[in-house]
Amino acid sequence: MWAGARQQRGCRHKHNAISTDVMGKNKRLSAQKRASRVARTSSSAADGNAVNALSAPARKALDEFRLENVISHLLRRAHFAAEEIFAKEFAEEAITPRQKAALIAVYQRPGINQNELSALLFMDRNTVAEMVARLVRRALLKRRPSPEDRRAFQLFLARKGAALLDSVILRDARVERAIEEKIPQKDRAVLMRCLRLLARSR
């Protein structure tokens, strides 16, 4: 009997210890949840304060702002759409519109240097230098020292580059037609005039 009583007291002691441990864990979890709620509330308050720091004219402009009416955004989306059509047509050739333009420019102006090519394509010199280096590595262009300035290089179309243009140039007209088809016939001339005005302002 005494042994049974001791066993019962031992079980009650273990149960109490477990209960105390569970209660402690629950208190810690509750404290962590309260701290998390306070942090979220503080963050929301801080965000609200940041918005309140805006001037009334700025807030009015932000409320009325519509991305679908922004010319630069629409031009960028149109550019991506045109490049996607080009990329699908010339996926096998692995050529970009700018590389195609560079090859055509060199064909039309044999011996052109990189600075002249940069000005012609409206691209910065470093970008053109990298592009030319890639085209030379692919044996599409040949690069020779200029007889007038040994620090400069003249560019010439390589045999492989000529073969690529032979494959690309007629199909390029198909790409242009695919882009134009998205625009009503009556609006195409107006669009071209507007694009030229924007390009001329650079």
Residue type, 65: F
d(CA 117, CA 109): 9
Report the pLDDT value the prediction gives residue 31, as an integer from 0 to 100.
60
Tell me the pLDDT tens digit for each residue of 150-190: 778 899 999 999 999 999 999 999 999 999 999 999 999 99
Total residues found in the chain within this entry: 202
The whole-number average pLDDT for the span 184-197 is 93
Q: What is the mean pLDDT of the chain?
A: 83
Percent of the chain with pLDDT over 70: 75
Task: Read off the pTM.
Answer: 0.69
pLDDT band at 25 (very low <50, low <70, confident <90, very high): low
- Over residues 112-124, the pLDDT tens digits come to 999 999 999 999 9
Token representation of residue 63: 């409320």
Residue 9 predicted with pLDDT over 60: no
Closest CA relative to residue 85, chosen from 190, 181, 153, 179: 179
Give the pLDDT band (50/70/90) at residue 43: low
Residue 128 near residue 114, CB atoms below 8 Å: yes
β-sheet with 112-113: strand ranges across: 112-113, 153-157, 141-145
- Nearest residue to 165 (alpha-carbon basis) of 83, 99, 79: 99
Q: Is the pLDDT of residue 24 over 90?
A: no
3-state secondary structure of 142: strand
Rounded distance, CA 119 to CA 131, Å?
14
Q: What is the reported pLDDT for 202? A: 63
pLDDT tens digits for range 93-112: 999 999 999 999 999 999 99
Residue pointed to by tokens 């390029």: 172
- Please, what's the largest Cα pairwise distance for the chain? 116
CA dihedral sign, ordered 46, 49, 53, 54: positive
Amino acid identity of residue 198, one-letter, is: L
123-149, pLDDT tens digit by residue?
999 999 999 999 999 999 999 988 887
Instruction: State the burial class of residue 135 (Cβ atoms within 10 Å of its Cβ: 0-12, 13-18, 19+).
Output: buried
Name residue 3's amino acid.
Answer: A
